[in-house]
Structure 1
């Protein structure tokens, strides 16, 4: 009788053990993680469409209002690896749930901002909340999913992030059209509350018992500084109005910070990122190819809208609608790619993804007008990224010891942020260089050649994906 009462109490306390321990219970955990991943990614891109409205509302210049987008990304990139490591030490459930809370508070404060300075400060809070969510998303799924379903589960998480980033401008455009720019922040409050409830109900308890290793605070601060400087240089350092001397100085500072971080981690008793771990070919190649794959996606999503508007003469609304061919490709391929990676070969599925992305990028070059073939190229790029990401992420996480799942997930999400910076830089700089080479009469050709740069990035990622296949024998 007493045993039945104990079991009854366990059934009713949070989380709902009776639900999540069933064979299909894993999908409640995956759904909760996808909820947060989509919301955090959406807010990274949703702001872009509202920048002109913010410029008018705060009576300022575009070069200042762009910091609303940039400062969020800097906060996200600077915190994500440290929060991943903290989740390894104190538990992923409390960190993820706290992420929803911080994100809700930051969103509400952003919506109530009274001037640009207050909005920038509150965007930092929002970015910290997003980093708490994204740092733990892949690691929670890896811990919850069995090996036979892990690739498929990670595929859904990658789909949620990709859709959030891709659909942000479209959702932002609708919200700012029907109401004030403040709605794009306030809408996160009820959505975040639902996410918090879902996290409390379904995320499994994983608090660490016994003595905890010391958190490498010095390493975390140096890495955050390195990532912030790197992201800033990638986003702002190669623009036409930037000063080459300042860009060169920042690059030198980044190199010095990277060397300092490696030296600190070698001597640390409990390093933030174990050097022996990131030396593994599966790990560093997986993260490097992740950076390259997302750079393909962001180079395309930067240049194609300009092509639609400036070369084809389409409206911004129609350009945004046509661009959705890319996230549609991701949505269709990502879950199936994860399942195929579980049953066939993660290396081969990753390689197939980069082949599709390269073919899609080359198709954008080959078909110069907005035709079904051009849209098919966009669709293929989305299919390629959607095929590559779950297989590559599952391969990295499968090679990660359980004690480092949090930091591994943080690094993978950091690679996506760096890929964004690399892609935006590669797309923007290539258009400028080709325009300078071809002259003003060759602007259309300059845009088309930038699609070949994206194809080249995909081919480099393909080569690196296959580089260690024979040596590692890691085809599972």
Structure 2
């Protein structure tokens, strides 16, 4: 019973809109993941006071979560392809919800960081399967719409995070920043049990590639730590160089292992599918461009004398524009515009906005308008790009594909934060505008890569049938 997927009730399964129930359920996880990503940073000050800890120690509340998440997304997706995506998704909710409750009750900073690692394991089980569940539940012709709704749920969680986090910390305390996940998780777990379809096409794993997991985890962890060190983490230069060297070495070892392994963690042939490699690069750069301004703008506006309330309103324009475009593009754009065309349009809009941000003086009004337009561009790009990637993967490898999409998203998030932090770190003290323009130029390069990735994507992709039951 606990290791087998149960089918949906017949009354649900036979409805013509049953796929919408599955998409709505997946949106719970998408919303929670992004809410948690943007809400936790609001607890830093309270954690420092509560546990009498330095900022370098408190930062590990986020860093431990991110490192664990990135390392596990691909292997968890591979296992879900073999054992059942619904099963892994539901157990992910169990782990995430239980760990959230434990975080809210943590007696020490060390315990909190340990519980965050467990929370990240649950988040990996959710995120590795979210895109795959949407892609295999929705009819082929509605996949882009479904992925757009999921992306909008992520944007909504991202937008509400700072506001909800600030309100919780100011009223009931930092522990409820984690406790808020518990009721949402319980509702999502019950909904998933009844509304998510079983996995009908599986990709068995006779043996698990543990060495592949070790090399992948080493590569991603070293890379993220190296980027953090380069952007201001207090490490000596030789340690920073060593981290990048370790990342390159472990990455090469991972590739060689996947070529020799009888049952590889990641079938490298999947990366040679026409839409996959350009799409994954575009996904990484898209989230880099999305998260960079979310770090840059609050720092710049507060330094310029804006209140925190006004700053929060301005920053919310970015995820609001993203959600609007991700859900409304189907009704506005002609059906003749292909996924590749939407990717190109979204990336070009992002380039235009970042060009303006690189030269326009920082002011709340202009910044809010530009962020909203940037969100529109990214909201056009992301669902269409994800659709191109997921249509290229065989149905039996959908979990692996979803894991790769979310891993590149997490890496793009980390790089966006790190590059902006690096630009601010290198800027002379007090020079707000030059630092902001320098960061915008870094993000502009990433937007240029988005255009190139979209251009290299195939003009037409084959539609695969739905396998939901």
Larger CA deviation: 442-451 vs 245-254 = 442-451
Q: Give distance in 2, aligned partners of 1:341 and 1:276.
A: 34
Cα distance, 1:29 vs structure 2: 0.1
Taking structure 1 as reference, are residues 212 and 432 closer, same or farther at Cα in structure 2, changes over 3 Å only? Answer: closer
Taking structure 1 as reference, are residues 271 and 343 closer, same or farther at Cα in structure 2, changes over 3 Å only? Answer: farther
Judge conservation of contact 2:71–2:217 (CA < 8 Å) in 1: yes
Aligned to 1:144: 137
Q: Which residue, 449, 459, 462 being the options, matches 1:460?
A: 449
Judge conservation of contact 1:356–1:380 (CA < 8 Å) in 2: yes
Taking structure 1 as reference, are residues 113 and 211 closer, same or farther at Cα in structure 2, changes over 3 Å only? Answer: closer
Q: Which residue, 45, 48, 56 being the options, matches 2:41?
A: 48
Q: Which residue, 327, 347, 353 being the options, matches 1:335?
A: 327
Alignment of 1:241-256 (within 5 A): 241-256=234-249
Look up the SS of the partner of 1:324 in the other structure.
Answer: helix
Judge conservation of contact 2:39–2:161 (CA < 8 Å) in 1: yes
| Residue 321 (1) aligns with residue 310 (2) | no
Look up the SS of the partner of 2:141 in the other structure.
Answer: coil
Q: Give distance in 2, aligned partners of 1:210 and 1:384.
A: 36
Judge conservation of contact 1:229–1:250 (CA < 8 Å) in 2: yes
Judge conservation of contact 1:289–1:465 (CA < 8 Å) in 2: yes
Q: Give distance in 1, aligned partners of 2:151 and 2:334.
A: 14
Q: Give distance in 2, aligned partners of 1:154 and 1:142.
A: 7
Look up the SS of the partner of 1:149 in the other structure.
Answer: helix
Q: Give distance in 1, aligned partners of 2:176 and 2:320.
A: 25
Q: Which residue, 164, 167, 176 being the options, matches 1:171?
A: 164
Deviations 1:282-338 (CA, angstroms, capped at 9, x unpaired): 111100111111111121111111111002x01223211221011110111002336
| Residue 383 (1) aligns with residue 376 (2) | yes
Judge conservation of contact 1:32–1:195 (CA < 8 Å) in 2: yes
Judge conservation of contact 1:81–1:407 (CA < 8 Å) in 2: yes
| Residue 94 (1) aligns with residue 83 (2) | no
TM-score by length of 2: 0.92
Q: Give distance in 2, aligned partners of 1:20 and 1:360.
A: 44
Q: Could you list the runs of 5+ residues in structure 2 that have no partner in the other structure?
A: 1-5, 464-469
Judge conservation of contact 1:364–1:378 (CA < 8 Å) in 2: no
Aligned to 2:256: 263
Judge conservation of contact 1:152–1:338 (CA < 8 Å) in 2: yes
Deviations 1:334-380 (CA, angstroms, capped at 9, x unpaired): 02336759753011101111112122222323431425332110101
| Residue 76 (1) aligns with residue 65 (2) | no
Cα distance, 1:420 vs structure 2: 0.9
Judge conservation of contact 1:363–1:374 (CA < 8 Å) in 2: no
Q: Which residue, 422, 428, 432 being the options, matches 2:425?
A: 432
Q: Which residue, 103, 109, 121 being the options, matches 1:110?
A: 103
Q: Give distance in 2, aligned partners of 1:235 and 1:405.
A: 31
Look up the SS of the partner of 1:180 in the other structure.
Answer: coil
TM-score by length of 1: 0.91
| Residue 201 (1) aligns with residue 194 (2) | yes
Look up the SS of the partner of 1:335 in the other structure.
Answer: helix
| Residue 308 (1) aligns with residue 301 (2) | yes
Judge conservation of contact 1:34–1:160 (CA < 8 Å) in 2: yes
Judge conservation of contact 2:362–2:433 (CA < 8 Å) in 1: no
Q: Could you list the runs of 5+ residues in structure 1 that have no partner in the other structure?
A: 1-12
Aligned to 2:467: none
Q: Give distance in 2, aligned partners of 1:126 and 1:88.
A: 22
Q: Give distance in 1, aligned partners of 2:299 and 2:24.
A: 35
Alignment of 1:222-301 (within 5 A): 222-239=215-232, 241-301=234-294
Q: Give distance in 2, aligned partners of 1:81 and 1:338.
A: 30
Aligned to 1:356: 349
Look up the SS of the partner of 2:358 in the other structure.
Answer: helix
Larger CA deviation: 378-387 vs 214-223 = 214-223
Taking structure 1 as reference, are residues 228 and 162 closer, same or farther at Cα in structure 2, changes over 3 Å only? Answer: farther
Q: Give distance in 2, aligned partners of 1:341 and 1:269.
A: 46
Q: Give distance in 2, aligned partners of 1:409 and 1:341.
A: 27
Q: Give distance in 1, aligned partners of 2:269 and 2:329.
A: 30
Taking structure 1 as reference, are residues 341 and 246 closer, same or farther at Cα in structure 2, changes over 3 Å only? Answer: farther
Cα distance, 1:197 vs structure 2: 0.3
Taking structure 1 as reference, are residues 283 and 342 closer, same or farther at Cα in structure 2, changes over 3 Å only? Answer: farther
Aligned to 1:8: none
Cα distance, 1:456 vs structure 2: 2.5
| Residue 119 (1) aligns with residue 107 (2) | no
Query: How many residue pairs are counted as aligned between the two chains?
Result: 457
Deviations 1:62-99 (CA, angstroms, capped at 9, x unpaired): 11111111111111111111110011000011100000
Q: Give distance in 2, aligned partners of 1:258 and 1:236.
A: 19
Cα distance, 1:207 vs structure 2: 6.4
Aligned to 2:123: 130
Aligned to 1:418: 411
Deviations 1:144-172 (CA, angstroms, capped at 9, x unpaired): 11111000001111122233234322221
Cα distance, 1:212 vs structure 2: 4.8
